[in-house]
Amino acid sequence: MLDILQTVLITIATLAILVAVHEFGHFWMARRCGVKVLRFSVGFGRPLLKWTDRSGTEFVVAGIPLGGYVKMLDEREAPVADEFLSQAFNRATPKSRIAIAAAGPLANIVLAIFVYWLIFLNGVTGVAPVVAEVAADSLAARAGIVAGQEFIAVDGKSTPTWETLQMQLLERIGEDGDLHLSLKYPDSDLIYESTVPLNGWMQGIEEPNPVRELGVTLYMPALLAKLDQVMPDSPAERAGLQSGDLVLAVDGNEVANWSEWVDYIRDVPEQSVTLLIDRDGQQRELQITPERKLDESATAYGYVGVSVAMPEWPKSMQRSVEYGVFGAAVAAVDKTWQMSAFTLTSIKKMLTGLLSPKNLSGPITIAKVASSSVQYGFYSWLTFLALLSVSLAVLNLLPIPVLDGGHIVYAFFEWVTGKPVAEQVQVWANQLGLVMVVFVMVFALYNDVLRL
């Protein structure tokens, strides 16, 4: 129950920040353009908190935290007194309406740049992508890649860490042509160039993993059965297990890694087992009885309430980059541009069938990722916040009626032709746009449920 509550609160906080920044962009630009703002709302439904400023704008925090809006004075929505006609949105110039519509997404872009700037200012640490294994007869094997080599570039772009390698490979989803890889051995400056021919690579694959699809397993330290957190009032705490304990054996069966320990415990719900552990160099035996729990398919499994202690990476495999204030700003702008382009490319590939639409995520996945990112640390959550902010900006700029991009198209048409889009055409287009948006949201939610 506490985990669910934490997930809900973190998701609400994340969405509230994104929505507040987005709507503030519209609000700020509307006032700069002389358009009167009647209401600034974060959330929908019954107001939980509201106040009015000196300009007569009502600020609202509502109970359904799944969006927000800025309501402006507009003759199309309600009669406007003669003395306020000059402040009506529909009376604003096309250029002003374009600026107001674009200001929301641009505010999210600015937020992403600021968040990435904070991240880069703190320095970026990653793990070198060193090949541990190459599957027989895989793309990597046919390209001559061998264990021990380190990826240093994909298509000429540097890949110093796991993350950068994955991102560069993901950009080639569904494409044809040659994938150019540059590798080297850790203790050598000699560069090995490999070419992998692609033909609709990973096209239509759900949750694509490009490194795995190449046939490569990257090196990581052995994940031992060493305990990190012991949950309060759990079977592990009652048995006397402590953070830092290393499980050596269960019922006399040697435990080589974390996976073996987890598999054994899951198979013995409500059965007493004997543990041999190492604590500060001394071995001792403990008795523990896993609780019985049910998974999504109503299958029983054992649970003891512990988490794994992550292993330390060798210093030689850690890659750290430090930035100054200006350097962090340049890197933040570059990262925001890269993620914006990647989002647009992904949308294009999804529409053309090169990328499986099952990769589309909805609120449940967002909630799960938001919660898990906080567990990995504040900067991990910041990274997720920046990514969501970029996605919100790009999606809202798409030329779909009811979205900001649709309003920009209407205003641009009027700017160029000198005539507004016919009101009936706008009504039909908005209805079509609303159907499209609702369909995408329902499909994304459907994908979320399948993932559960």
Would you name the residues annotated as active-site residues? 23
What is the token pair recorded at 341? 């382009």
Are 359 and 350 contacting, i.e. CB atoms less than 8 angstroms apart? yes
CA distances from 323 to 110, 125, 315 (A): 19, 12, 20
Q: And the tokens for 200? A: 């609709």
**Structure token pair of residue 375:** 């567990």
Tokens of 442: 């329902």
> How many angstroms from the chain centroid is the CA of residue 242?
33
Strands (E), 172-271: 177-184, 192-198, 216-218, 227-230, 246-250, 253-254
C-alpha torsion sign, points 443, 445, 451, 452: negative
Q: What is the DSSP letter of 306?
A: E
Contact 201, 256 (CB under 8 A): no
Q: Where are the alpha helices (DSSP H) in 267-377?
A: 325-351, 363-375
Number of residues written out for the chain: 452
